[in-house]
A and B are shown apart, each in its own frame.
Chain A
Amino acid sequence: MSEKNIFDEMWGTDEVLRGPYSEFQSWFQDEDLKRLRAKQREAEEVFRLAGITFNVYGRAEAEERLIPFDIIPRIIAGREWQRLCKGIEQRVRAINAFLHDIYNRQEIIKAGRVPQEMIAKNEAFLPQMIGMTPPGGVYTHIVGIDLVRTGPDQFYVLEDNARTPSGVSYMLENRETMLQMFPELFSRNRVQPVQNYPVNLRRSLAACAPPACDGPPTVAVLTPGIYNSAYYEHAFLADQMGVELVEGHDLRVVNGRVAMRTTHGYKPIDVLYRRIDDDFLDPLNFNPESALGVPGIMDVYRAGGITIANAPGTGIADDKAIYSYMPDIVEFYTGEKAILENVPTWRCSEPDSLAYVLDNLSELVVKEVHGSGGYGMLIGPTSSKKEIEEFRKKLTARPGNYIAQPTLALSTVPIFTKSGLAPRHVDLRPFVLCSPEGIDITPGGLTRVALEKGSLVVNSSQGGGTKDTWVLED
């Protein structure tokens, strides 16, 4: 894969300035690099003071670090975005329909489109959800769809995040920071706003209030606490929505409701936006060791006493093994062909695929089915022989644990470096809200960028950064 074939979102493949970047380019040409360098430092200071940090796991001391922020916006044209939105909405509807089906009649299995064992043997499948329909019929109140681009009109879904997708606070803070630092850029470009996200989130959650709710729904955000890597985001969202940020030990089941301990006694919660994993949600129903959850919350949930967002068990829809079935899933529930393409995927559980993957390890990206955050994966083209051989052993030992995909020529966008603009690979995570009132997609999303030249790994835990993402009004 040569750099020449790579699609750059500013310069295309033929060094001709693309439309969405024209205003930006004329602004940038008149800018002084020194001033921009100062702006870059200023941005870091803003983030540090605001405490927009994440904690790195696996270190002795809980360390707070900044996610590097790049000041050059990523710009997407309105019509490009509209097309993406159609695909995202279709996919999210299919995911919800799939979840409802999987936990109820399982038509898709009866129809032979998804094999029984993909569900029954899947750790992400929660038997506790069988026969249960969440309030409003919504399973995934908040979804993040990770997209990559390889050409002007070619987008692929890299993965679906249907559990508790994170990063939305960076989308909002990145925009805030850009508005403060480069107001003139926003005067020259008509950028679609993202600031309504918290209000929309709250409305969307409130619209899914449970049957037991009488009066205006009480919403709360459940966090594992200040040492969690995404604590900043939890506090940020609770703050922006104007709701309480609670931890497990603030909650208990009182009179058949989940209630939070206030200075005036226990007060029931109607909708809980939880940012802890299923396994920790309820020590009585799941992991008995969990101190982060609420004993008995699942029983309240099943009795219609509370809405849990996202619903427990949604992981079955964003599992990497299920991912390869998504085109079928979309077609099955919507009756249409999937608008957004999947990355071609080999399921290593299938002998033929495994053989192919083992023969082509140096060309492929191999991922753990249940992994996330860029841990435990192999990127063939950038790995050493030794790394590949070690991975081969792991893969042969537990093939069912892995999927493989071709290395895509991810698009690049410019970042600001000491010597000016330089292209780096990016992905995009748009954020989607679902409620009975409809599906709401915030224009833009979180752009993650690999700061190392040529690198394809954009995860913040692996040294990636973020950018503000603009969708222009056409």
Chain B
Amino acid sequence: MLGKTANGLYWMSRYLERAENTSRLVETGQRIGLTRLGQDDDEWASVMRSASVLAGYEEHHDEVTKDAAINWMLREKANPASVLSTISEARQNARMVRTALTHEVWEAINGCYMAVKDALARKVSERDLPAVLGLIRQRTALVRGATHGTMLRNDIYDFTRLGTFLERADATARILDVKYYVLLPSAFAVGSSIDNVHWETILRSVSARGGFRMAYGSQVNARDIAQFLILDKRMPRSLNFCATKIHNNLSYLGADYDTPPQSSLMAKALVDRFMNHDIEAVFDYGLHEYIQTVLSMLSKLGQQIEKDYRFYE
């Protein structure tokens, strides 16, 4: 496979995943805002921080308002992580690697782009927001379904999976990074209403309220949420799940080489050193430091993959 193609596949799926994550955070912010008393838009700063788009927002705006935040996250061209920007980027990458995709996957991405571009052509009113978010969710799910159902399980597939899980691990780690203080065992009195808001935010941000209930019951507490998002092997957005997938896919790719590329070793180290523990060990290490370390390892891993597989030269 061409290095350029690997690059395009990897970024195509990173951008798709990013679009999904951003729209999910918008959904969370909207939901929290609606179900909470009071009128302040504070939550949107936190939502944008979780999506890593707050700094860019502040360059263009003096204050944080709900409408401006939603617009920034969904359709602002100046925001490279807006849903519209990321879907356009995903499609540009897909066009570039058109020959590596099945007809179904290409049509799903192109259809996703056309539908989302259309839906985000104008400012989205509050009334239309649920339908627009639903459309984004459906269209990106269609791409994932087509990928899953029609692509050969070969190196092409491996690179799309790498992009997906690196982006997803990064997103989950950032959500944790923004909210880590509410997950510390000693942070707040258990059961206070403030906790409930935070926890609900976290679980909604990763589409996992139902999953959490199924796995841990309806009693929510900080320790279980941390366990769920960081180490739970069943949870498709947990750090452990994503890191394991990254490691697996790099192993498949590395099997064609005489000596495993550096990135395979780095992924193995990430799994071995940071995922095979219980949550108490994470708290002992320091939750904040742990998240910071994992974020930094993910970023280095991404750079090493680009090098090992000759994305650019």
Contact = CB atoms under 8 A, between A and B. Distances in A.
Specify whether A and B are partners.
yes
Interface of A: 48-51, 226, 231, 235-236, 238-239, 243-247, 249-250, 260-265
A48 B113 CA distance: 11
A50 B309 CA distance: 30
Main secondary structure of the interface of A (DSSP, over half): mixed
Contacts of B99: 235, 238-239, 243-245
Contacts of B103: 50
B4 A250 contact: yes
Contacts of A231: 95
Contact of B1 (A236, A243, A263): A263
A49 B309 CA distance: 31
A250 B3 contact: yes
B110 A51 contact: yes
A263 B110 contact: no
A265 B310 CA distance: 7
Given A244-B99, A249-B4, A261-B313, 6 more contacts: A50-B103, A235-B99, A244-B5, A262-B1, A262-B2, A263-B253
Interface in B255-313: 256-257, 309-310, 313
Main secondary structure of the interface of B (DSSP, over half): helix
A413 to B, nearest CB: 30
A50 B92 contact: no
B194 interface: no
Interface string B75-92: 000000000000000001
Given A49-B111, A51-B106, A261 B2 contact: yes
Given A226-B96, A235-B95, A235-B98, A261 B4 contact: yes
A50 B95 contact: no
Query: Which residue of B95, B110, B111, B256 has the most chain A CB atoms within 10 A of its CB atom?
Result: B95
B76 to A, nearest CB: 18
A250 B310 CA distance: 10
A50 B107 contact: yes
Nearest to A264: B256
B156 to A, nearest CB: 10
Given A51-B106, A51-B110, A250-B3, A262 B310 contact: yes
A263 B92 contact: no
A388 B171 CA distance: 64
Contacts of A238: 99
Given A261-B313, A265-B310, A245 B98 contact: yes
A246 B2 contact: yes
A23 B98 CA distance: 39
B155 A263 contact: yes
A244 B2 contact: yes
B95 A263 contact: no
B114 A48 contact: yes
B309 A263 contact: yes
B47 interface: no
Nearest to B106: A51
A51 B98 CA distance: 10
Q: How many residues of B sit at the interface, in one of the four size bands? A: 20 to 34
A250 B92 contact: no
Interface pairs A-B: 10 shortest CB-CB: A235-B98, A239-B99, A263-B309, A261-B3, A238-B99, A245-B99, A51-B110, A226-B95, A263-B6, A263-B1
B303 to A, nearest CB: 16
B239 to A, nearest CB: 27
Contacts, number: 57
Nearest to B98: A235
24 contacts: A49-B110, A49-B111, A50-B103, A50-B106, A50-B110, A51-B95, A51-B106, A51-B110, A226-B95, A235-B98, A235-B99, A239-B98, A239-B99, A243-B99, A245-B99, A246-B2, A250-B2, A250-B4, A261-B4, A262-B2, A263-B1, A263-B309, A263-B310, A264-B257
Contacts of B310: 261-263, 265
Contacts of B4: 246-247, 249-250, 261
Query: Which residue of B3, B5, B99, B107 has the most chain A CB atoms within 10 A of its CB atom?
Result: B99
Given A48-B114, A51-B106, A262 B98 contact: no
A229 to B, nearest CB: 14
Nearest to A48: B114
A236 B256 CA distance: 29
B31 to A, nearest CB: 33
Query: Which residue of B114, B253, B310 has the most chain A CB atoms within 10 A of its CB atom?
Result: B310
Nearest to B4: A250
B110 A260 contact: no
A239 B313 CA distance: 24
Nearest to B158: A263
B3 A49 contact: no
Interface in B98-152: 98-99, 103, 106-107, 110-111, 114
A50 B111 CA distance: 9
A42 B92 CA distance: 25
Contacts of B155: 263
Contacts of A260: 2
Nearest to A231: B95
A169 to B, nearest CB: 12
Nearest to B256: A264
Interface in B28-55: none
A43 to B, nearest CB: 15
A441 to B, nearest CB: 26
Contacts of A265: 310
Contacts of B106: 50-51
Query: Which residue of B2, B96, B106, B107 has the most chain A CB atoms within 10 A of its CB atom?
Result: B2
Contacts of A48: 114
Nearest to A252: B313
A262 B114 contact: no
B115 to A, nearest CB: 10
A238 to B, nearest CB: 5
A247 B312 CA distance: 12
A238 B5 CA distance: 13
Nearest to B313: A261
B218 to A, nearest CB: 44
Contacts of B253: 263
A50 B94 CA distance: 12
Nearest to B7: A263
A96 B259 CA distance: 50
Nearest to A223: B96
A60 to B, nearest CB: 15
Contacts of B257: 264
A472 B111 CA distance: 36
Interface string B4-30: 111000000000000000000000000
Nearest to B155: A263
Contacts of B309: 263
Contacts of B256: 264
A250 B2 CA distance: 8
B3 A262 contact: yes
Nearest to B102: A239
